Structure 1
């Protein structure tokens, strides 16, 4: 931390040096003085452009219609229905971070950086898990080309919860990127960004394995070609390729188990898309085509000699080719209809259907037959059609927006749900994917509104989703389509109903004070078996109070989470995903008080700091965490009272 503190002090010292001091220099020749004058004029122009950009951002924020923030996506799949929450405690949110994080996982650079040379230096620290982070970024945009890059480092350890529980969660992360591109004055551009992330010493409290290595290589190609006149306005395209290598084990960072094991995983993904935008006046349209593939191969090794024991993913692949059409019809100056249609062709396969391992373990073909009576090759194809229609109406001269929509969304099973095979001598620890799964078909009705007028900001949304063939993580008990009855982990189709309500309100008092609140209610029912769907967010509300004036703002938030009365917490009647799976009730609901503040001594300097869990409350969240390649989920106890601070300097 001494090095981090020194870097932070140096950055702030440079930021606060008087401009007169920075301008002092010995007498220079006339030519050098002229060059210095030109450079000063260039810097002044860049500062002016930055101020203009900030004004545009403020204007856009003033015109923004309030919306709610979703926390649950019914069509997100078993690992993605509970959305990433950037308002969660720093040390528990391993997928991103809240305001106290310099570089959350949803951080995206602009397509084209600002003119000139720009950079950012950021440093941060959290006392909860002794978490430190450093961010360096730069960009240089010339007449028709640009380069950019970032370096991000994070190190964190475990923490002690308010009840004294020691939570062993930690990780080291190093990420860096470099990119560049070309652009034209009309907005056309072509860019390529290469990214690399390396992580190690990833501890998962409550899990049976940790991650000793995670390496991600990524390439992003993007572009836009603007046409001058005609029915087509522009062509957009993007392509993302990722290669992920990962090793999980139970012996590197903990006392070696009697039966050491490790899992070696390789995952390759590709997402390629093209879109044509056209039309004008009362009708605008977009036609698109895309291709997405997810290929995984993983093997588990066990014993002193690390012999191959289970082919977790035996060359599993799911590829989706899509065609899309979207349009917006302007019915009047204050109302419009938006509609879309999508066709997906799915090609799924398991190249290692008969893959054998060194230890006496069944092949994927054999275990699929023993679990589901499935005798196919593992290759499956689907033709799926999704569509949506949405009506929008502006309210009171665009002070608000009212909307209502109907949609059908079809989600195919991913490689984990289809082909995952974690074979164990104990059926309770066995996980078997289902190659014969049908795609989920979501039929959703949603209504909502947003309003901003004077001191008030209001937003609300309600939705109801009837799902045919919902893909459920369950236990084998001889259900329809399941021949095993030994409580092994399986995936099967059921029908379901999911509904939710979201609401948000804010009122601005005089003298910079404001108050607000958020509300979330979510309900899920497996209508085939007449029981609750697991990992449904409990009722939650947030009460907020803040003050902002000039270059300083402060806010407090009381997050209230109710005890859930509808759980899937027994492996004998359901999946047991909630809690320990033995039918016990989870802890009571809880309330957490957080305080945060931001100080901006200059437009390009921001210092954020806060206190998490001010009342040092002991609590355990219902929504569990897990590693993307380990099937197990777990509920670590929340971190106790902690302080965090970060600072960023832009130049």
Structure 2
């Protein structure tokens, strides 16, 4: 599932976990947004029309994509390919309209090349207005977005080189769930990837990539709405360099993958009182978080049909806030840290070790596999959790914790994946015990918190998460098909014996589709149960939940027709 503050940029949720509990890569690049309050998650700079493939890896099944990732990994990928012999040009264009929000969009995708080299250009544009809810109330959600991707590649017998540039420009983004809107949100991303599929020493092949992502974000409370009182503005930047080098080592049927990766993120954010013409806060005070990791994965057949998989990684994390002592019209970040935690921002280093074990067994009595897995993942605090320095009256302050410890998940999961041909079924259950869960909370004089004034703070607690996922598909015949899925997660702060906020309820989908040559029809029902396990009282908890929510269901009808081989209308 996913959440978003307005109409732009969905923040994925896997097993009740989101934000930096997921590793999200955009065509191999890490892109970190410019808003401390997640107005612009990484997907805000990834128009789905420009990607060919989305892969969701639930839980800790790999260590290749960075440290942490306790909830899972989301990979958005493009598949630029050489053109076949006799073809030098390929392209498609599309346009669409959605009624409620009066959203219009269009895209063009053009490839030029031959069997050894190619260039692909993708351009998209989208414009949306505010939508009306079921009661006819207008909800702030408008935005304007333009994006372009240019990629190219060359290939020979053993080596492939890909380069790419993403330019994303979003304007006039409105947010009903925030005190500010975003007049500007831009991102520029540059990539280089080299794949060599021939022996190099002990390696059967080597894969190397590097990316640079620069995000510029502005939010204020007066450009797109009437200012209620003081005019406030918060410009920010988030610049990330990331890369990975890995190689495969084959030993009989056993395959090792070993590698090294890095991710360096620098963030700056200030908030200005434009009414008084002064600086109100240093939100991200020159934050630098550098992570360097080494990893190894094993894929080994056992007996005739079983497989054993394992992985281990070590991450060195170094972080600092170079401007934490900078004075403002109110308090410096260091003054805020001292007030709530009795400390100032000092350089921090961590040595984090994670890994997984997984055994997949072919079943004799059923057509499929069963599996069981154990994992440990360690997540370092992000720039907001460790260093945010937002001034205001006590209840509106938002203060990161420079002494916060890394979050450690220890998880066991098991499941099955069955296939009878016309009928497919999969399911899993999991349990995760979390040490030093990084909790966004309110200051109530808890252990390690020096004040009780309802400011937003961060602290470590113990937690547990458990849940299940199930999905199935049945093909009645060549035309009719039905599929369904459901997921549930139960998340508890065991230190305080209360629910963890923003945990989704039991939810599911049911789809029925009918397809024939040249056209199709279908329907989907999305269902969510009521959620009574909430943390909605800011005087005793975090207050991040508004309250208990009722269950609901939404149904959609959809269809498509292909007037010709080159045209589709949906």
When normalised by structure 1's length, the TM-score is: 0.76
Q: Measure the CA separation in 1 of the matches of 2:307 and 2:406.
A: 32
Q: Measure the CA separation in 1 of the matches of 2:42 and 2:545.
A: 20
Following TM superposition, by how much is the alpha carbon of 1:431 offset from its aligned partner in structure 2, in angstroms? 0.3
1:368 match: secondary structure: helix
- The counterpart of 1:365, out of the listed 334, 348, 351, is 334
2:384 match: secondary structure: helix
Cα distance change of structure 1 residues 385 and 223 upon mapping to structure 2, 3 Å threshold: same
Cα distance change of structure 1 residues 171 and 545 upon mapping to structure 2, 3 Å threshold: same
Q: Is 2:147–2:167's contact at 8 Å kept on the other side of the alignment?
A: yes
Structure 1 partner of 2:124: 152
1:588 match: secondary structure: coil
Structure 1 partner of 2:471: 504
Following TM superposition, by how much is the alpha carbon of 1:112 offset from its aligned partner in structure 2, in angstroms? 3.1
Q: Measure the CA separation in 2 of the matches of 1:500 and 1:81.
A: 20
Q: Does 1:529 align with 2:471?
A: no
Q: Does 1:171 align with 2:133?
A: no
Following TM superposition, by how much is the alpha carbon of 1:552 offset from its aligned partner in structure 2, in angstroms? 2.1
Cα distance change of structure 1 residues 291 and 511 upon mapping to structure 2, 3 Å threshold: closer
Cα distance change of structure 1 residues 397 and 241 upon mapping to structure 2, 3 Å threshold: farther
Q: Does 1:381 align with 2:323?
A: no
Question: RMSD value over aligned CA atoms?
Answer: 2.5
Cα distance change of structure 1 residues 225 and 78 upon mapping to structure 2, 3 Å threshold: closer
Following TM superposition, by how much is the alpha carbon of 1:73 offset from its aligned partner in structure 2, in angstroms? 4.3
Following TM superposition, by how much is the alpha carbon of 1:451 offset from its aligned partner in structure 2, in angstroms? 1.3
Q: Is 1:78–1:472's contact at 8 Å kept on the other side of the alignment?
A: no
Q: Measure the CA separation in 2 of the matches of 1:93 and 1:553.
A: 35
Q: Is 1:413–1:439's contact at 8 Å kept on the other side of the alignment?
A: yes
Cα distance change of structure 1 residues 101 and 512 upon mapping to structure 2, 3 Å threshold: same
Cα distance change of structure 1 residues 214 and 237 upon mapping to structure 2, 3 Å threshold: same
Structure 2 partner of 1:334: 305
Cα distance change of structure 1 residues 450 and 547 upon mapping to structure 2, 3 Å threshold: same
Cα distance change of structure 1 residues 229 and 394 upon mapping to structure 2, 3 Å threshold: farther
Structure 2 partner of 1:216: 187
Q: Measure the CA separation in 1 of the matches of 2:556 and 2:40.
A: 15
Q: Is 1:457–1:506's contact at 8 Å kept on the other side of the alignment?
A: yes
Cα distance change of structure 1 residues 362 and 229 upon mapping to structure 2, 3 Å threshold: closer
Q: Which runs of 5+ in 2 are unaligned?
A: 1-11, 27-38, 55-75
Q: Is 1:344–1:383's contact at 8 Å kept on the other side of the alignment?
A: yes
Structure 1 partner of 2:384: 416
Following TM superposition, by how much is the alpha carbon of 1:210 offset from its aligned partner in structure 2, in angstroms? 0.4
Moved more, 103-112 or 586-595: 103-112
Following TM superposition, by how much is the alpha carbon of 1:255 offset from its aligned partner in structure 2, in angstroms? 1.2
Matched ranges for 1:18-97 at <5 A = 71-73=13-15, 76-77=18-19
Alpha-carbon displacement from aligned partner over 1:338-382 (angstroms, at most 9, x marks no partner)? 00010000001010121112x2x111111101011114x421000
Q: Is 1:75–1:442's contact at 8 Å kept on the other side of the alignment?
A: no
2:335 match: secondary structure: helix
Q: Does 1:110 align with 2:72?
A: no
Following TM superposition, by how much is the alpha carbon of 1:510 offset from its aligned partner in structure 2, in angstroms? 3.0
Following TM superposition, by how much is the alpha carbon of 1:602 offset from its aligned partner in structure 2, in angstroms? 4.1
Q: Does 1:606 align with 2:548?
A: no
Q: Measure the CA separation in 1 of the matches of 2:188 and 2:40.
A: 22
2:327 match: secondary structure: coil
Q: Is 2:373–2:412's contact at 8 Å kept on the other side of the alignment?
A: yes
Q: Is 1:73–1:81's contact at 8 Å kept on the other side of the alignment?
A: no
Q: Is 2:80–2:120's contact at 8 Å kept on the other side of the alignment?
A: no
Q: Measure the CA separation in 2 of the matches of 1:102 and 1:122.
A: 10
Matched ranges for 1:283-362 at <5 A = 283-357=254-328, 359=329, 361-362=330-331
Alpha-carbon displacement from aligned partner over 1:477-501 (angstroms, at most 9, x marks no partner)? 1111111210100011000000110
Q: Which runs of 5+ in 1 are unaligned?
A: 1-69, 85-91, 580-584, 609-651
Moved more, 345-354 or 107-116: 107-116
Structure 1 partner of 2:176: 205
Cα distance change of structure 1 residues 587 and 462 upon mapping to structure 2, 3 Å threshold: closer
Q: Is 1:75–1:409's contact at 8 Å kept on the other side of the alignment?
A: no
Structure 1 partner of 2:398: 431
1:366 match: secondary structure: helix
Cα distance change of structure 1 residues 601 and 471 upon mapping to structure 2, 3 Å threshold: same
Following TM superposition, by how much is the alpha carbon of 1:181 offset from its aligned partner in structure 2, in angstroms? 2.4
Q: Measure the CA separation in 1 of the matches of 2:24 and 2:50.
A: 21
Q: Measure the CA separation in 1 of the matches of 2:227 and 2:146.
A: 27
Q: Is 1:247–1:262's contact at 8 Å kept on the other side of the alignment?
A: yes
Following TM superposition, by how much is the alpha carbon of 1:193 offset from its aligned partner in structure 2, in angstroms? 0.6
Alpha-carbon displacement from aligned partner over 1:262-291 (angstroms, at most 9, x marks no partner)? 001011011111001121432100111011
Q: Measure the CA separation in 2 of the matches of 1:161 and 1:119.
A: 37
Q: Does 1:514 align with 2:456?
A: no
Structure 2 partner of 1:477: 444
Q: Measure the CA separation in 2 of the matches of 1:343 and 1:443.
A: 16
Cα distance change of structure 1 residues 96 and 370 upon mapping to structure 2, 3 Å threshold: closer
Q: Measure the CA separation in 1 of the matches of 2:375 and 2:526.
A: 32
Q: Is 1:75–1:411's contact at 8 Å kept on the other side of the alignment?
A: no
1:510 match: secondary structure: coil
Structure 2 partner of 1:555: 522
- The counterpart of 1:194, out of the listed 165, 169, 179, is 165
Q: Is 1:310–1:421's contact at 8 Å kept on the other side of the alignment?
A: yes
Q: Does 1:574 align with 2:557?
A: no
Number of matched pairs: 520
Structure 2 partner of 1:233: 204
Alpha-carbon displacement from aligned partner over 1:286-342 (angstroms, at most 9, x marks no partner)? 111011012110100014253211000110111110000111111133111000010
Larger Rg: 1
Cα distance change of structure 1 residues 71 and 365 upon mapping to structure 2, 3 Å threshold: closer
Structure with the larger RCO, 1 or 2 (CA within 8 Å, 6+ apart): 1
Q: Is 1:353–1:378's contact at 8 Å kept on the other side of the alignment?
A: no
2:338 match: secondary structure: helix
Following TM superposition, by how much is the alpha carbon of 1:185 offset from its aligned partner in structure 2, in angstroms? 2.9
Q: Is 1:71–1:82's contact at 8 Å kept on the other side of the alignment?
A: no
Cα distance change of structure 1 residues 255 and 74 upon mapping to structure 2, 3 Å threshold: closer
Q: Measure the CA separation in 2 of the matches of 1:494 and 1:304.
A: 40
Following TM superposition, by how much is the alpha carbon of 1:394 offset from its aligned partner in structure 2, in angstroms? 3.0
2:395 match: secondary structure: helix
Following TM superposition, by how much is the alpha carbon of 1:551 offset from its aligned partner in structure 2, in angstroms? 2.7
2:204 match: secondary structure: strand
Alpha-carbon displacement from aligned partner over 1:59-83 (angstroms, at most 9, x marks no partner)? xxxxxxxxxxx95246645675999
Following TM superposition, by how much is the alpha carbon of 1:466 offset from its aligned partner in structure 2, in angstroms? 0.4
Q: Measure the CA separation in 1 of the matches of 2:80 and 2:248.
A: 17
Cα distance change of structure 1 residues 151 and 111 upon mapping to structure 2, 3 Å threshold: closer
- The counterpart of 1:392, out of the listed 343, 357, 360, is 360
